[in-house]
Structure 1
Amino acid sequence: MNLTTTLSWTAVCPLDRLEPDRGVAALVDGAQIALFRTADGLFAIDNRDPVSGAYVLSRGIVGSRGGVPTVASPLHKQVYDLRSGHCLDLPGVAVARHDARCRDGLVEVRLRQEG
């Protein structure tokens, strides 16, 4: 059985500190998160690239594929769907996705933990 546990919301930074279509790394409740602001919204995924094991996804190239907001790993260029975390190039590979929102001008992230 696969359950998802969500933790409380954590304020990360003011919205205006996030440049559109650029990623930033943030430490949220001890986890390294890659946070993205795109025309499609705010997205938070683990910063760890599941292919290389390096914490680099926040430095990836933001774009889209078929209308899907994406980030390409800066190391091996695998492309991840920012909405789901699924890799669009390697079936079965995914990065954890977390909830992100803007509230009162502050970007907040809520971690999701699979268990």
Structure 2
Amino acid sequence: MSIAPLAWTTVCAADEILPNTGVSALVEGRHVAVFRIGESRFHAIDNIDPKSGASVLSRGLVGNLGEHVVVASPLYKNHFDLTTGACLEAPEYSVRAHSVRIEDGRVQVALG
């Protein structure tokens, strides 16, 4: 059994995302939040806050909780790990994490 290759979708130019902020994108019909951490690290998770159903996670505050790089939901302040999508306060509200790469200066996302 072979694994299908990832389907990459170009979201924007890497320079269009300011360090330590996020943007929202529609990838294959799914709301995705793409974050730039520092100058060169990028992460993507679902943008829908599972507690409220609103597409707002890209607007949350980025920071650290211990060893976790997280975004705090702007609505209920739950913290989502940007690497795994895990909700640190309530695991039942975890979201999906997605693959991100930079190709020719463009951010590309593949749904995970």
The TM-score normalised by the length of structure 1 is: 0.87
Alpha-carbon distance, 1:67 to partner: 2.7
Query: Aligned ranges for residues 102-113 of structure 1 at < 5 Å?
Result: 102-112=102-112
**3-state SS of paired residue (2:31):** strand
Cα distance, 1:91 vs. partner? Answer: 3.0
The runs of 5 or more residues in structure 2 that have no matched partner are none
Q: Does 1:45 align with 2:45?
A: yes
Aligned identity (percent) is 49
| Cα distance in structure 2, aligned partners of 1:92 and 1:67 | 21
How far the C-alpha of 1:70 sits from its partner, in A, is 0.3
| Aligned partners of 1:72 and 1:79 also within 8 Å | yes
- Structure 1 unpaired stretches of 5+: none
Q: How many residues align?
A: 108
Counterpart in the other structure of 2:74: 74
The 5-angstrom pairing of residues 1-115 of structure 1 reads 7-39=6-38, 41-112=41-112
TM-score by length of 2: 0.89
2:25 partner amino acid: A
Query: Partners of 2:31 and 2:37 in 1: how far apart?
Result: 20
**CA shift for structure 1 position 93:** 2.5
Quote how far apart the aligned CAs of 1:76 are: 0.6
RMSD of Structure 2 on Structure 1 (CA) = 1.5
TM superposition outliers: structure 1 runs of 4+ over 6 Å: none
